[in-house]
Structure formats: structure tokens, C-alpha cells
Amino acid sequence: MIEAILITLSITILIGLVLGYASIKLKTTGDPIVDKIDKILPQTQCGQCGYPGCKPYATAIANGEADINQCPPGGDDGIHKLADLLGVEYKPLNAEHGEPKPKSVAIIDESTCIGCTLCIQACPVDAIVGAAKQMHTIIEKECTGCELCLPPCPVDCIDMQVIPETTENWKWKYPIYKIEQQN
Amino acid sequence: MNISDKIFKFFGGIKPEGHKQISTRNPIKRLPLPKELIIPIRQHVGKMPNIVVKIGDRVLKGQILAEPVANMSAATHASTSGYVKEIKPMNIPHPSGLPDQCIVIETDGKDEWIRLKKIDIENISLSNLLEKLKHSGVVGLGGATFPSHIKLNANRIQTLIVNAAECEPYITCDDMAMQEMTQDFVDGVNLIMHILNIPKTIIGIEDNKPQAISKLNSVLDSSKNIHLKIIPTVYPSGDEKRLIYLMLGVKIPKEKRPTELGIQVFNVATLISIARFINYGEPVISRVVTVTGALGQPNNYQALIGTPIQQLIKDAGGDPSQEVIMGGPMMGFKLPHTDVGVTKAMNCLLAVTDEMKSKASTEMPCIRCTKCVEVCPAQLQPQELYWHAKSKQFEKLTDDYKLFDCIECGCCSYVCPSNIPLVQYYRYAKSEIREQAKSSEIADIARDRNEFRLFRLEREKKERAERNAQRRAQVSDEDKKKLIEEKKVAIEAAMKRVEENEE
Amino acid sequence: MTPLDSPAIKKNMSVSVIMFTVTLALIPALIAQIGFFGLQILGNLIIGISFALILEAVCLKLRHYPIKPFLKDGSAFLTAWLLIISIPSSTPIWVMLVGLFFSIVISKHAYGGIGSNPFNPAMIGYAVLLISFPKIMTNWPSAEQFDFNNFLNFSQLFSMFASIDIVDGIVSATPLDKIKTALFLGEPINNSFSIFDQFNAYQIMSIFYLIGGLYLMIKKIITWHLPVSLILSIFVFSFILHQINPDVFMPSLFHLMNGATFLAAFFIITDPVSSPTTLRGKIIFGVMVGLITVIIRNFGGYPDGIAFAVIFMNIFVPLIEKFTQPKVFGYE
């Protein structure tokens, strides 16, 4: 009887020591799961998920406050990747947060722009160049297509242009020569 | 010239029916000038060149139409004299069917050359020569269209390998070019050896070209260290890395380039163009095109770049409504539009035969028979690549199964008993992986910019708060002074009023 | 429809060509079997194959797949053929149909159809019958003389409908059976019979399977890796055991000529779907199947262990493939 208690006690103490050592020596800084989720998100910073940017949304998912199907620019692919990473079930995109749209960039109609800088303050990736009462223009390469600059513009001079498919960005399609299924 | 001894055999490969004799019965034909030339601006791998002519300009034969922009770019020239009729997006020979910027030249029938300057190869520096070659329009005419001046900017090359294999069935343009333009070809080889100080050249040619072999044997100089190696007819012995292995027994993986091991490979047609540019100053304005397949009179044509292909097909006894494949039957693609012009990459126009049409059938499930593994020249596992590509699991494809080592030769699809279009799956997977890598890069940049913006806003807020605190401290001092001043003024005013009242 | 440009030309090969060439290679052995034992096997084949095709059609319909291309490719045909020649020709018809059900429906369609079955379908059917009906499975017809009249004796064709019970007089144990019984009874086996009086029907059928298999290798339907590794493995391991104790373990030639060794080597383990895809993997597979077969034959409870050995090794195929991936061109 007494031997059983001693053996169990010593095993417990040993495991406790190992765990204590590990928790100090092998501690990780930061919150890696948030970074991993953030790596999957498309970084459009559009806010359609309900959070002011991709990092806050990633933090919310990690805390369990947000669901994985709230990001339209990430599409179905993104939801699948998040489901795989977190080990949860895949869900289709929540339509309340928007529909996936083709990739587009914003363009300012320079004849209408009044130089008010409201759009510059709205852009989450600082892709608009300009100053007060000077012409504003959008750096096409940096624009993520988040559309946050459209509402603040008082003269409605910003439009979204879909990126056209040219021979440079054309890619081969999935071969759809499946066996016809009779349903 | 001695016939070198050892030929290394590469793993895999197939031996399809050659169909070469139907287009080699007659010599290369030259057609009369077409009425219009449709010349795409970009016919090479690299950046779009800058157009230097405008609508209405008169251009001469060989005049430059578009200048190269960066190093990875090449020039485009007018193939005959005439007037620039239009500059707009038009149909080009591309599998997507999407249009690209083209120049349409209305020919004036005079075929007037621009003033040509031959290059004095003995008295020109390498960098000057490469600059001139950049403006010569010479790109890899075997189909890859890689700008050749970049390939010539290499040093310490020990062996030049000439790709005279022409392994794909039906294509015979290099065969006929070697038979008829033999002197230009040999000049090209000698020039490259001279420019890059290459001690040894091996010409790799398949054994199904007996006339070209005997012609070369009679012309090649034995003292010049140019060897002719005859290889068995196996597809794809014309692939660069397979050819290098056949000639030298050296295996080159994807990451390395042949120049790192002192080897450079050039195609027959490219060498002929280089010779004509250096010896006569002629830029690339035409090429030999094999027009073959289900036609009345298959033949090879020396076609001007931009010639509407319908003219060639009609002369070869074909029908305008026929389906045409650009390239060979293994690696070529069906042209979505046939109202296009000849480009530098167009080595063959293959009219689809009934036999080819009868082979198209439904894709059945993979039965793991591994016939594809037995024929893959890159020694890959095509069935693993297929399963991963089909189920869209792209993570393992690049590193574990080496998808990007696939040369899309089509040997696997050729033997598959279940009629699976394997090459289409690999092309799809490669496109998806490349696009994912690109969007991941763009996302990283966007994330950095967003983080910097948040940092900048924080910084601005802090600076503003500091300034406010300072101003408040300053303003209270001044405020006090003002109050004292105001009070003084008020007191003086009051005192004045008292004095006036007393009077 | 597969498009024209991927590539536009194709070799004249399809799944049905493969399956029917394999069937062609099985025909000499079938003729030998009819000559020795009568047309009963042909009757079995006709009924069994028809039933298998009907089962396959029903399964395809239930899975919403088009029936014609899949039936045409001959895989159900071949699976049924292999199962039917593995079981005694005097098997009652309902037993055969149960076996076919397990082969076609459970082992093939329940796992996703052709190309997705992890286990060899014919062997699953055979294993189920062997475990469920052991007495029937060991009642092979006695070895007879080759008789040309057997080809004309059409009454034998559907004799399975006539008899319900097995008459003990016309069936007997196979040589492997005799060895197993002798081992259990503790008798030294050398007394049972000598090796070289055995050019009986079963041995001649084995030789025909060998000839059919060589024909398949010449036609490049199968590669040499699987058959050679299995045959050599059985030869070597039974040789080792025979050297250790000649009284208890039969010599290697016996093991090669009896049982289903050549049938298995050329036709059973070469089933492409359930065997490894890498060449080194195939050799490992063949060697292990041979080892396990020899163990079961000499130490196990069943007279012939090929079926269980094959099914057991089918489990390890993905693992074998993972560790025998060959080097890609250019990588050292």
C-alpha cells in the first residue's frame, strides 16, 4: 500500500518537474496561431469581415469570437485552409459579409478630383499619393481592391476597375473533362 | 570531323510514328508577298518592346518596329516594305485565344530592304556585339523564343551543343533548313565558337534525317573540332536537358542552368539567323514553317513573319475551316483562331487528321498501371502528380514530387490507357502554384504597408499629443502675460475716464 | 471529351486492351483445365461472368456513373475470371455468386470503383469463400488424364445445377492439402508421394499459366519485377526451410509447381490497382508475398496462403510507395 503511494507520488513529482522545466525553457513568445491565421488571410484589409483589418480578424478567430467564413476576398479556398489549420469543419461563405468579387483596382478620375485627402486617410495600405489641394492618384500595384476609398470621396470620382485577363496573367484552367455523371 | 563514340541513353521516351517523309519531298517553298502582315509586337519571352512607328509611316524591309526595353527583351522588325496600317490588339497564336498588341503592315509589293550593315566580327567588342544582337530580333527559334543575346552573354563555355534533333513527329523545318541553308548553319556554328571561345561543338541529330547527315558530313571541316553525333529516334531527345545527357552523360537538375556546367545549347534555326545577321546584317524577318497533316500537299515554307497562316494552309492544299495545331502533335496547341500571322515561335502548322480526332475520348479513372512512369523522361511519378493536381492538393507537388521538373512533353498522356489528359492537369497545377506564390508575395507587401500605416498613425498621434502639451505649457505663459496686459490697458482706460470725469 | 492538344496523338492502348490481353493469356490454361476436368469450368465461367457484369452494372447505376464505358473496359470480366479459376470447379453456384458479390461490390465499388480499391478484388472474394466454406474450397476434382472427349461432353457444362451435394468419390485433396494433413498428423511427408510422379493435371496447368505470363511480359502488359520477385522469393525461402528440415518441409520445386504460384505470380499480384507503383516497391511486394506464402504453407493453418499473403501486403502498399520513390532526373 505504502509502496503504491510512494511510486505514484514520485512519478507525479517527476512529471511535474518536466512540465515546469518545459514551460520555462520552451516558452514561445507572441501568439503564433494568430500569425498563422494571418498568413492565410488575403491582406485586402477591406473590413468586410466586420473587423478593421486582417490582423484583428485573425486575432478574433484565434480567440473564438469570429467564425472562419467571414472573408469574401479569401474565397472558398481561404476557408478550406483555415478549416485545415484550425481543425474545424468547413462552412460556406457567410453571405452577410459580402460576395466574392473579381480582383479589381481603384482608379481616380483626375478631372473630378478636388484634392480633399479624405480618400488618402481611408486607404489601409497607403496606396494613394497626394496632398491637400493637390492631385490624388492611386498606385495601381499597391491597391488591394478593398473599396474603402469609395465612400469618403465627396465628388464620387473613384471607380473600381476589374483587372483584365491578358496573355501575361492568363493561366491554364482545371481540365473539366470529367466523366458525365447521370443524375 | 569524327563521329563521336558514346551516346548515353536517357530513361523513358516514346517512339511514335514519325510522318516526316510527307513534308520533305519538295524543297522549301517561298510564297509571293501577302497583301497584309499581322506582326505581334511581342514574340519572345520577356518584356513588351516599345513601338517606335506610328500609323501611316512607311517602313522598309528589316526596319525596326519595336525597340527592346530591358535586357530580357527583343526587337521586332518589318518583314517587308509597306505602310503601317493599324496598331491595335488582334488575335495572336496563343492557347488562351486572348488578343495582344499587333502592327498590321499593308505591303507595297516593292520588298525594299533597309540599308543593311554587316558586322565585322574580328573588330567588335563582345558588349557591342550583344547590344547589336539585342536589336536584331534573334530569339530561340526552336519554340522557346528566349532572347539569344542573353544566352551569348556567358563565358567559360566548354561545349556548344547544336540541337538538330527535331524529335517531334511531323516537324521537318530544321531538317530542310540544314539541307538547303547548310553554309549559313555552319557559319553560325563557327561564329558562336569564335564569339565565346568555345573549344568543342557537338551537333546532335536523329537518325531519321539521312540526307541532312550526309550533307553535313560533306561540308563540316574536320579540323574545326565540330563533331556530329547521330542519336536514335526517340521522343523527346530534342529537349535541352535530355539532349545534353545524350551527348555528354551529364544530368542537369531544374535549379541549375547548362551554362553553369560550361554547356550551351542552340537550335539550328537560331544559328542560321545569327549567321545571317552577322554576315549580312539581316534581322529576323522570316522563318521556315512546316505545314503538314491532313492537307493535299504538305510542304515547308520560308514564310515572312506576319504572313497570314491561311495563305500557307491554302497553298498546301488545306481548307480554311480546318482545325490547326501550332507546333507538333505532342507539345503543340490547337489554335483558337486561324486568322493570325506567322510568328517567330511557329515551327509547324499541323492540320488535324482524322486519326487524331478519333483518339479523343472520355477520361476514365486511373488504374495505376504505371505506364506513364515507364516513359517519363524526367523520371517523375506522373500518377502522383495527377492525383495531387486533380484533388487540388498543391503543397507536396513542388518539393516532394518535383512538378516543375516536368517538361510537358506529353509522353505520359500518350501511353495512358485511361485517356487521362495528364499534361493539362500539370499545366493547371503549375499555374495555380505560381499564382499562389505571387498572391502570397503581394499579400506580404500589403501586410507590411498596413502595419507601417498603423505605426505611422500611432506615431503621428504621439507627436500631436506632445506638441499639444508643449503648446499648452507655452500658451499658459503667454495667456498670463496677455491677461496682465489686458488688465493694464483696462486700468489705464479706467484711470483716463476718471481723469476726464474730474475735468 | 479529352481535347486534341494534350497531346494530339495517342498510343493504341486502353484499359480494355490490357484486360482482354490478360484474358487471352489465360486461355491456354483454360483449355488444359477443360481437357483434364471437363466443361464444368466453362459453365462456371459463363454464369459467373454474366452475374459479375450484372452486379457491376447495378453498382454503377447506383453510383450515378455511365455504364457502357466501364463495362467495356473488362475489369469486372477479368476479376470474375480470376476468381472462378481459383475455386474448385465443383463449387455450388450460389457459393460462387457469394464470392463474386464480395469481389465486385464490396471490394471494388464500396471503395470507389476501379482504380480506388486497395485490395485485390479476386483475392478478397477467394478469402471470404475460403474462410466461410472451408470444406467446399478444399474439394478439388481428382487429377485425371487429358481427354479430348471432355471438350464435347456438353452435359457437363451446367452440371452444377444437377448436384447439390458434393460426392466425395470424385473429389480429392490437392497435393498441398495432402502435405498439410500429413504435417498435422505427424507423418513424415516423404512417404506421402515422390516429387516426380506429379506431372499431373495441376502441374500442367501451372506450366500453362507460366506460358501465359511470359506472353504478357513479351507484350509489355506487365513488367518482370512482380512475377520474378515472387517466384524467386518462394523458391529461396522454401529452399532454406527444406535445407533446415527435409522431413517436414517440401523442396522448392514442389512449392513452385503446386498451388497457385504461377497463376499468382503473373495474374494475381500484377493487378495494377492494388500493387505498388514504384519498381523497387514491386520487388519488395513480391518478396514479402512470397515469404508470407511460404510461412502460411508450412506453419499456418491453410494449405495455400497466397490469397492471405496478397491481401496482407495490399495493406502496406502506400507505405512501400512512400519509401521507394525513385530519384528525379538530375537530383542525386
Neighbours of chain A (3+ CB pairs under 8 A): B, C
Mean pLDDT of chain A: 86
Burial C11-46 (b: 16+ CB within 10 A, else e): bebbbbbbbebbbebbebbbebbbbbbbbbbbbbbe
Q: Residue C160: its pLDDT value, please?
A: 58
How large is the angle between the packed helices A32-40 and A54-63, nearest 10 degrees?
130
Beta carbons of C92 and C132 less than 8 angstroms apart: no
**Mean pLDDT, to the nearest integer, of B252-257?**
84
SS3 B422: helix
**Mean pLDDT, to the nearest integer, of A137-148?**
89
Q: Do A167 and B96 touch (CB under 8 A)?
A: yes
In this prediction the pTM is 0.86
For B216-261, the DSSP string reads: HHHHS-GGGTEEEEEE---BTTTSHHHHHHHHH-----SSS-GGGG
Q: Residue C245: its pLDDT value, please?
A: 83
Number of residues that make up chain C:
332
Q: How confident is the model at residue C186 (pLDDT cuts 50, 70, 90)?
A: low
Mark which residues 435-454 of B lie under 8 Å from A by CB.
435, 439, 442-447, 449-453
Q: B61 CB near a chain A CB, below 8 Å?
A: no
Q: Is the pLDDT of residue A71 over 70?
A: yes
Q: Is the pLDDT of residue A78 over 90?
A: no
Percent of chain B with pLDDT over 90: 63
Residues of C in contact with B241 (CB under 8 A): 329-330
The C-alpha atoms of residue B330 and residue B409 are separated, in whole angstroms, by: 7
Q: Which of B113, B11, B64, B38 is nearest to B306 (CA)?
A: B38
Residues of A in contact with C115 (CB under 8 A): none
pLDDT digits (tens, 9 = 90+) for B403-425: 999 999 999 999 999 988 899 99
The grid coordinates listed for C6 are 494534350
**Mean pLDDT, to the nearest integer, of B337-360?**
89
**Mean pLDDT, to the nearest integer, of B83-102?**
92
Q: Do B446 and A43 touch (CB under 8 A)?
A: yes
Q: How confident is the model at residue C192 (pLDDT cuts 50, 70, 90)?
A: very low
Residues of A in contact with B364 (CB under 8 A): 179
B47 CA to chain A: closest CA distance, Å?
10
Q: How confident is the model at residue B221 (pLDDT cuts 50, 70, 90)?
A: confident
pLDDT digits (tens, 9 = 90+) for C90-101: 888 899 999 999
Residues of A in contact with B345 (CB under 8 A): none
Q: How confident is the model at residue C189 (pLDDT cuts 50, 70, 90)?
A: low
Q: Is the pLDDT of residue C238 over 70?
A: yes
Radius of gyration of chain A (CA): 25
Q: Residue A183: its pLDDT value, please?
A: 36
**Mean pLDDT, to the nearest integer, of C237-249?**
85
Q: Which of B377, B380, B323, B379 is nearest to B354 (CA)?
A: B323
Kindly tell me the burial class for residue B218, based on how many C-beta atoms sit within 10 Å of its own C-beta (0-12, 13-18, 19 or more).
exposed
Residues of A in contact with B444 (CB under 8 A): 43
Mean pLDDT of chain B: 90
Q: B361 CB near a chain C CB, below 8 Å?
A: yes
Q: Residue C210: its pLDDT value, please?
A: 93
B204 CA to chain C: closest CA distance, Å?
20
Q: A182 CB near a chain C CB, below 8 Å?
A: yes
| Residues paired with B229 in a beta bridge | B204
Alpha-carbon torsion angle B375, B379, B384, B389, nearest 10: -90
Give the residue numbers in C contacting A (CB under 8 Å), as ranges. 1-3, 64-66, 69
The C-alpha atoms of residue A5 and residue A15 are separated, in whole angstroms, by: 15
Give the helix ranges, DSSP H, for A26-72. Answer: 32-40, 54-63
Instruction: Give the one of C1, C64, C66 whose C-beta lies nearest to A177's C-beta.
Output: C1
Q: Is the pLDDT of residue C123 over 60?
A: yes
Give the residue numbers in C contacting B (CB under 8 Å), as ranges. 1-11, 13-15, 17-18, 69-70, 73, 75, 113-116, 223, 272-273, 275, 277-279, 325-331
Mutation target for A interface from C65, C114, C116: give the one with most A CBs within 10 A.
C65
Residues of C in contact with B252 (CB under 8 A): 330
Q: Residue B478: its pLDDT value, please?
A: 73
Q: Is the pLDDT of residue B3 over 60?
A: no
Q: Residue C168: its pLDDT value, please?
A: 43
Q: B251 CB near a chain C CB, below 8 Å?
A: yes
Give the ipTM.
Answer: 0.85
Q: Residue C303: its pLDDT value, please?
A: 76
Q: Residue A49: its pLDDT value, please?
A: 87
**Mean pLDDT, to the nearest integer, of B310-316?**
93
Furthest C-alpha separation in chain C? 69
Q: Is the pLDDT of residue B222 over 80?
A: no
B489 CA to chain A: closest CA distance, Å?
42
| Residues paired with B290 in a beta bridge | B300, B348
Q: Residue A76: its pLDDT value, please?
A: 86
Q: Is the pLDDT of residue C1 over 80?
A: no
Instruction: Give the one of C8, C17, C115 whose C-beta lies nearest to B325's C-beta.
Output: C8
Burial C133-144 (b: 16+ CB within 10 A, else e): beebbbbbbebe
**Mean pLDDT, to the nearest integer, of A88-100?**
85
Q: How confident is the model at residue C250 (pLDDT cuts 50, 70, 90)?
A: confident
Those residues with Cβ within 8 angstroms of residue C301's Cβ, 6 or more apart along the chain or in another chain:
none
The C-alpha atoms of residue A43 and residue C259 are separated, in whole angstroms, by: 66
Q: Residue A182: its pLDDT value, please?
A: 40
Q: B471 CB near a chain C CB, below 8 Å?
A: no
Q: Do B434 and A171 touch (CB under 8 A)?
A: yes
Percent of chain C with pLDDT over 70: 84
